[in-house]
Amino acid sequence: METGAQTIFKEREGQIHRKGEEPFEMTCNRDSLAGAVSQRACVFCGSRVVLYPIADALHLVHGPIGCAAYTWDIRGALSSGPELHRLSFSTDLQEKDVIFGAETKLYSALTELIDRHKPNAAFVYSTCIVGIIGDDLEAVCKRVSEEKGIPVIPVQSEGFKGSKREGYNAACRAMFRLVGMRETTGISPVSINILGDFNLAGEIWIIRDYFKKMGVEVVANITGDGRVADIQRAHGAGLNVVQCSGATVDLAKMMQEAYGIPYIQVSYFGVEDMAEALYSVAKHFEDKDPDILRKAQEVVREELSVLYPKLQEFRKDLEGKKAAIYVGGAFKAFSLVKAFRLIGMKVVLVGSQTGTEEDYRELYEITDEGTIIVDDSNPLELSSFLQEQDVDIFVGGVKERPIAYKLGVGFCDHNHERKEPLEGFVGMLNFAQEVYNTVMSPVWRFAPRKVKRAREV
Amino acid sequence: MLLRHTPEEIVERQALMINPAKTCQPIGAMYAALGIHGCLPHSHGSQGCCAYHRSTLTRHYKEPVMAGTSSFTEGASVFGGQANLLQAIDNIFTIYEPEVIAVHTTCLSETIGDDIPQIVSKARDEGKVPEGKHVIHANTPSYVGSHVTGFSNMVKGMVDYLAEDGVEHKARTINILPGYVEPADIQEIKRLVKELGIDSIVFPDTSYVLNGPQTGKFSMFPEGGATVEDIRRSGRSMGTIALGPLASGAAARALDAKCKVPCEILDLPIGLNKTDEFINVLRKAAGVTVPDSITIERGQLLDVITDEQQYFYQKKVALVGDPDQLISLTEFLVSIDMWPIHIVTGTPGKKFEKRIAEITKDIPHKVNVRQAGDMFLLHQWIKNDPVDLLIGNTYGKYIARDEDIPFVRFGFPILDRIGHIYFPTVGYKGGMRLLEKILDVLLDRKDRDSPEESFELVM
């Protein structure tokens, strides 16, 4: 495993690009190669992560125990109120259920749970096995909904029907059934829904606060710290503000079609993108509130006056250090590339599990010569690129962390396991601080590659 | 936090699991397969299964966990996964070059009825399995049993595929099947066996696979693991000691049936008595005497038990975990006069309830025990009859926090501490570690709750 090339499947060559090797072409959005140690997940996983932060809903996983066990409170999506979403409910399908069907079991599980917990809605997740045995989820949900008087919504998230991306779509279709169920009177014309933020480490509260300072009403959080009733009147908002690559953009599109609500895509990571997000919203509402742009500028100015001097401090030491990025969605990668640039660091590798051709073209545009761009990568590739590029910090999720650490490379979790908010202006500061503390930590001097280099000098 | 959602009133549930105390078979099979050197576990199902197992194992061990997946799509689920598995075998041997691929099934591939042996033999016929390399398999439907069942099935798979009968059983080796325990436990078992001067074959062996050192290198196949040759030779050993009936019993019996290697199936060596049992059986089987070094360790454990008995006696304990662990742990606690009064395993099997009832029969207090139970039930029991200590995996911390109970992490998964990766709970030393952990939380609690005037320096 000396160079990258030896560890790449021939079939995957089209999914890796080194900037500078013209012309840019990227094969992506294709099924993973069977046998590859892929970092990707399934449809159910996609649906579950999107819907799970809705805290006053019941989330029942209809399947064998594993699907529920592995997704029990792993994301750290915070709620300011009810925490029903942090429990794990499963029909725990057994062999006899697989043979005879499990509709009755599902029915009694649902009624029992709804009676006990009085949720405002229930989501029932379909899993691989349910797709095969053919339980009629729709019919069971309809019956329970009628009997209990709350929305009971099937989520068509059979694992084998694609990757996380299809799961996002199933989640959006499920949520769309809630939208429009409640009155919208009293909602300000200057109002938005926040889509695609999951309130990890309390991030949505930071973003809501910025919008509040601009005089923008937030109707529904979709889905971080989410509430059923808010989503049911989300169609009363003037604008959908969508973050994160694929997760909730389908819902925005459905709402645009059905209710004529326009949407914009934003990112709250990094200074440029955060400010851009506020300005985009302000511009959208300028005709309704002529003062709004000034208010947005005020928020940005106030935040930056604190942030910039501190970032300059970090930059002094971080200038020229090297970063690698491998994340779920490409949208986050865009912001991270810019954020690293702001603190003087060079991104030498960037990739995602589920990026589209369009995404990778944008990555190509914003990265430097020589940057390696990858789609649906695997541990061998990633580790060989990390070594080849001699990176100082790797940004990724749970499965990437130990790879970095085994190589003696710093790591930053920009996924479920982040402990500090990374969104917003304060998030940029937290991010810079974490990157600084990690990259500059003296522990890396113990890493074998550094020891070796020190000996050679 | 879960408090407000958990009512005291207990209603029997038939159709529903809340806050599970088990997970599904494939992850156990994957963990077992990692205990073969140079083995790539392979999940024959959707991508999500493999991603979830790898993530969970990574969170538990803080190590890279490698496994392939057949990446089922809609087509595979209709027409069967043969093409996917054939392609996967080809790709894996070409690029990753493992010695062994250990295929386990999933609920999906089980239900559509893929015949793994047939597919593997097709792969062999088509030249996709290089000379000298192996593909083994276990059926691990997620809707039967639990992760422990999956582990057991894969260990049995190792025997079925790899163990070879010798002309005669003259080899002086003893096979040890360590059970579904941590890498650090396997290391400790190996140390004890070596200390006794016994030549052993231990499999599966995840030590130095999932608790390896930082080397500056990422390796698909770390140093540790039982080699294929080890497992092959196990058929010529003079006997097998299987630890943990549920996790190791099936493989031990299969080895007896296949290669006529007699076996003795023991409880996991957790605590004084169960470790005594293990050492004794080893001693007799190999015809060795127990060295002073082990006698001293035993004496130290006994010393802790007697020195600190005033803090142990009559403390009420709630336990949640896997059957093999809980049976030995309950025995250990009862032996030092602690009272395990609520005991839950998620893994189904009536035998568990019988054995626990037998072990706890002299406790002068009502004992609740449940197989195929869950943490919601455990929480309800605790609300109705409070305890002084809770022992369980990381998910127990919700209950511990809500009810303000001292909590010791033990079992799988542990997602928020690291001790389990490096320090054993089996053997005499493991017993000492368990007691230290229990004492720490009990005495910390006493320190916290004592009024200032009775806050004591010496305890």
Distance CA B262, CA B209 (A): 29
CB contact under 8 A, B77 and A42: no
Residue B33 to chain A, least CA–CA distance (Å): 15
B51, B59, B96: residue with CB nearest A45: B51
Residues A265 and A242: beta-carbon distance below 8 Å: yes
pLDDT value of position A40: 79
Q: Which two tokens stand for residue A264?
A: 């914009």
One domain, residues A347 and A447: yes
Q: Calculate the CA A377 to chain-centre distance.
A: 18
Distance CA B301, CA B298 (A): 5
For B174, phi and psi rounded to 5 degrees? -120, 135
CB contact under 8 A, B23 and A70: yes
pLDDT value of position A456: 82
Mean pLDDT of the residues in chain A: 92
- Least reliable range by pLDDT among A146-150, A244-248, A430-434, B435-439: A244-248
Q: Which two tokens stand for residue A352?
A: 């995602």
Distance CA A353, CA A45 (A): 13
pLDDT value of position B74: 84
Of A302, A326, A361, which closes a domain? A302
One domain, residues A313 and A450: yes
Number of neighbours of residue A457 by Cβ within 10 angstroms = 4
- SS3 helix, strand, coil % of chain B, rounded to 5? 50, 15, 35
Give yes or no for residue A358 having a pLDDT over 50.
yes
Contacts of B97 in chain A (CB under 8 A): none
Residue whose C-alpha is closest to residue B19's, from A145, A117, A78, A154: A117
The CATH number of whichever domain residue A118 belongs to comes to 3.40.50.1980
Where do the DSSP E strands lie in A23-170? 57-62, 89-90, 121-126, 152-155
A131 assigned to some structural domain: yes
Distance CA A381, CA A453 (A): 23
A278 assigned to some structural domain: yes
Contacts of A448 in chain B (CB under 8 A): 214-217
Q: From edge to edge, which strands make up the β-sheet containing B339-345?
A: B368-370, B339-345, B316-321, B389-392, B407-409
A186 assigned to some structural domain: no
Establish whether the linkage from the previous residue to A223 is cis, with ω within 30° of 0.
Answer: yes
This model's pTM is above 0.80: yes
pLDDT value of position B1: 59
Contacts of A33 in chain B (CB under 8 A): 71, 87, 91
One domain, residues A288 and A326: no
CB contact under 8 A, A403 and B52: no
Considering its fold, how many domains does chain A have in total? 3
Distance CA B395, CA B378 (A): 12
Where do the DSSP E strands lie in B181-328? 200-202, 239-243, 263-266, 316-321
Domain extents in chain B: 25-144, 174-291, 294-449
pLDDT value of position B169: 62
Beta bridge partners of residue A394, listed in sequence order = A324, A411
CA dihedral A20, A23, A29, A35 (to 10 degrees): -70
B-chain residue closest to A37, CA distance: B68
pLDDT, block means (10 residues), chain B with 459 residues: 81 91 98 98 95 95 94 85 95 94 96 96 97 98 97 98 80 95 98 97 98 91 96 95 98 96 97 98 96 98 97 98 98 98 98 98 98 97 98 97 97 97 98 98 97 93
Q: Which two tokens stand for residue B247?
A: 């996790």
Residue B11 to chain A, least CA–CA distance (Å): 10
Give yes or no for residue A123 having a pLDDT over 90.
yes
Of A249, A271, A302, which closes a domain? A302
SS3 A10: helix
| B294-449 fold | Rossmann fold (3.40.50)
pLDDT value of position B168: 64
Residue B295 to chain A, least CA–CA distance (Å): 38
| B174-291 fold | Rossmann fold (3.40.50)
CATH class name, domain B25-144: alpha beta
pLDDT in tens, A423-439: 999 999 999 999 999 99
- Least reliable range by pLDDT among A12-16, A166-170, B367-371: A12-16
Residues A39 and A353: beta-carbon distance below 8 Å: yes
- Least reliable range by pLDDT among A221-225, A244-248, A278-282: A244-248
One domain, residues A357 and A389: yes
pLDDT value of position B167: 64
A181 assigned to some structural domain: no
SS3 B151: helix
Report ipTM for this prediction: 0.95
Residue whose C-alpha is closest to residue B60's, from B37, B82, B27: B27
Rg value, chain B, Cα: 23
B62, B96, B108: residue with CB nearest A132: B108
Half-sphere exposure of B57 (CA within 13 A, CB side): 28
Tell how strand A372-375 and strand A16-18 pair up: antiparallel
Where helices occur in A155-291 by DSSP H, the ranges are 164-176, 203-213, 228-232, 249-259, 271-284
Contacts of A2 in chain B (CB under 8 A): none
One domain, residues A245 and A134: no
pLDDT band with cut points at 50, 70 and 90 for residue A3: very low
pLDDT value of position A8: 64
pLDDT value of position A2: 37
Number of neighbours of residue B419 by Cβ within 10 angstroms = 15
CB contact under 8 A, B17 and A63: no
pLDDT value of position A9: 67
Burial tier of A452 (Cβ tally within 10 Å: 0-12, 13-18, 19+): exposed
Residues B157 and B249: beta-carbon distance below 8 Å: no
One domain, residues A404 and A356: yes
**B174-291 and B294-449 in the same fold:** yes
Q: What average pLDDT does the segment A283-291 reach?
A: 97
Residue A224 to chain B, least CA–CA distance (Å): 18
B 63-92 residues inside an 8 A Cβ radius of A: 63-74, 76-77, 84-85, 87-92
Residues B69 and B100: beta-carbon distance below 8 Å: no
Looking at per-residue pLDDT, the higher value among B170 and A300 belongs to A300
pLDDT value of position A7: 60
Q: Which two tokens stand for residue B359?
A: 């072990």
Residue whose C-alpha is closest to residue B305's, from B438, B419, B405, B424: B438
Distance CA A44, CA A323 (A): 31
pLDDT value of position A19: 83
Burial tier of A308 (Cβ tally within 10 Å: 0-12, 13-18, 19+): middle
- Least reliable range by pLDDT among A36-50, A106-120, B348-362, B376-390: A36-50
One domain, residues A14 and A91: no
**DSSP letters of A346-371?**
EEEEEEESS--HHHHHHHHHHSPTT-
A184 assigned to some structural domain: no
Looking at per-residue pLDDT, the higher value among A330 and B437 belongs to B437
A37, A89, A379: residue with CB nearest B18: A89
Distance CA B431, CA B268 (A): 12
Angle at A239 between CA A234 and CA A242, to 5 degrees: 90
- Most B CBs within 10 Å, among A60, A70, A100, A126, to test the B interface: A70
Q: Which two tokens stand for residue B185?
A: 């436990």
A40, A90, A449: residue with CB nearest B17: A90
For A117, phi and psi rounded to 5 degrees? -100, -10
Residues A421 and A201: beta-carbon distance below 8 Å: yes
Which DSSP symbol is given to A160?
Answer: G
Name the residue range of residue A352's domain: 2-35+309-456
pLDDT value of position B289: 97
One domain, residues A169 and A290: no
One domain, residues A382 and A248: no
pLDDT band with cut points at 50, 70 and 90 for residue A4: very low
One domain, residues A435 and A339: yes
pLDDT band with cut points at 50, 70 and 90 for residue A1: very low
